Amino acid sequence: MKILLIGRTGQLGSSILAERTNHTIIAPARSELDIESMASCERAIDGSCPDVVINTAAFHNVPQCEIEPLKAFDVNCIAIRNLAAICAKRNVRLITFSTDYVFGGEKRTPYREDDRTGPLQIYGISRLAGEFSALAMAPDHATIIRTCGLYGLSGANSKGGNFVDKRIADAKTIKKLEMGSDQVVSPTHAGDLAKAVLQMIEHPQLTPGIYHLVNEGECTWFEFTRAIYELMELDTSVTPVDRGGRSGEMRRPRYSALANVKVRELGIVMPHWRNALERYLDDKYGLHNT
């Protein structure tokens, strides 16, 4: 299978490239494929003739989306709409990604794929619009994967690194740290997500539509931070703080854990978040060699 990968330097894109696979993966640089340019996407797809396009590119700096809403919609909606239209016209499958932030946080059990959406901020609204656009333009070709709390070995350039690495950096200079206990999430290792995405595209029963794909289980950011410090044996103390799901004036869902209902039906099972975190820390920091 020939795969055109968009977003090769991001946490997920680099994790997909790192996987051992028999597929041919073509991963152009951003200078070669600009997702905001329909012509650029057409040239890349026509030049590589892929069976599948995997798009991992997005504008996912949540606070910045509030400042640059037009940019958020350009990247997270319009570009996805155009990409889906190109793929449908050329009979190419499209795999693209979305977020837990399409939900409003009113539930207290993990969100299923068919649960009602209700985003609270520009980021979530733009991503939900991207979902609708992809399915409208390519109902027979588009698969949307919602994920949550992604962290990977490459970090996240737009956010200045991922959550795990930032907390470890904090511990070098801070002995007491406050961390939000008001958001319940499903933090997800990009390496596990990459493996599962490749399993999905190989699965004969995969159909277009929306799927959830996260590490199993749920926790608050406070609980996740405490687990990082426990596993790394760092002595920084963490105090839970309830910010009411807000970052300044911007709202975040207080509960956005996701349930992997549809991928489980395909026989794809994700590891628990704590197991994923331990493997990440071992791979990056030599957890079991210290």
Annotation says 123 is catalytic: yes
SS3 of the chain? CEEEEECCCCHHHHHHHHCCCCCEEECCCCCCCCCCCHHHHHHHHHHHCCCEEEECCCCCCHHHHHHCHHHHHHHHHHHHHHHHHHHHHCCCEEEEEEEHHHCCCCCCCCECCCCCCCCCCHHHHHHHHHHHHHHHHCCCCEEEEEECCEECCCCCHHHCCCHHHHHHHHHCCCCEEEEECCCEECCEEHHHHHHHHHHHHHCCCCCCEEEECCCECCEEHHHHHHHHHHHHCCCCEEEEECCCCEECCEECCCECCECCHHHHHCCCCCCEHHHHHHHHHHHHHCHHHC
The catalytic residue among 111, 123, 151, 255 is 123
Q: Write out the catalytic residue numbers.
A: 123
